[in-house]
Amino acid sequence: MNVKLNDNVLVITGKYAGKQGKVIATSPKNGTVTVEGINIHKKSQKARKANEVSKIAEIEAPMDASNVMVVCPSCSKAVRVKYNTEGKEKHRVCGKCGAVLDKAYTGKAGKSAKKEEAPKKRVRKRAKKEDAETASPDKAE
């Protein structure tokens, strides 16, 4: 599944075709995504406690992941996702402009950037022990 949490997506089929929203939940096992403000269903909720009131709640229902396309943040177009493998890592890339879609991955710039060094271990400085000769000249005589 090429759609991940917090991606901006465009719905391409169905009642909400042409609408954009943010992915708030994914289910790779079922192949579904839940998009904010899209595929709204009404569900009646019964009052479970004495002080609660029964109501009809509007919830976002999951929809098939094949009905949405990822919107590229750099070119702002709905694109097919390509995968770029550099070494052992696999990254999602825009099919049109080639921009990286994964926010955690910074690209080649991240590799060349200097890594932060861990702070040096503190060593406790102890007072130097004075020689017996210099410490007490009275006893030496």
Structure tokens at 33: 């995504």
pTM of the shown model = 0.66
Residues in CB range of 16: below 8 A, 6 or more apart: 38, 39
CATH code for the part of the protein at 1-71: 2.30.30.30
Q: What value does the mean pLDDT of the chain take?
A: 84
DSSP 3-state assignment of 53? coil
Query: If we measure between CA atoms, which residue out of 25, 17, 33 comes closest to residue 65?
Result: 33
DSSP assignment, residue 98? -
- pLDDT (0 to 100) of residue 88: 85
- pLDDT (0 to 100) of residue 113: 47
- Domain segments of the chain as ranges: 1-71, 74-111
DSSP assignment, residue 100? B
Per-residue model confidence as pLDDT tens digits over 56-109: 999 999 999 999 999 999 999 999 999 988 888 888 899 888 888 887 655 554
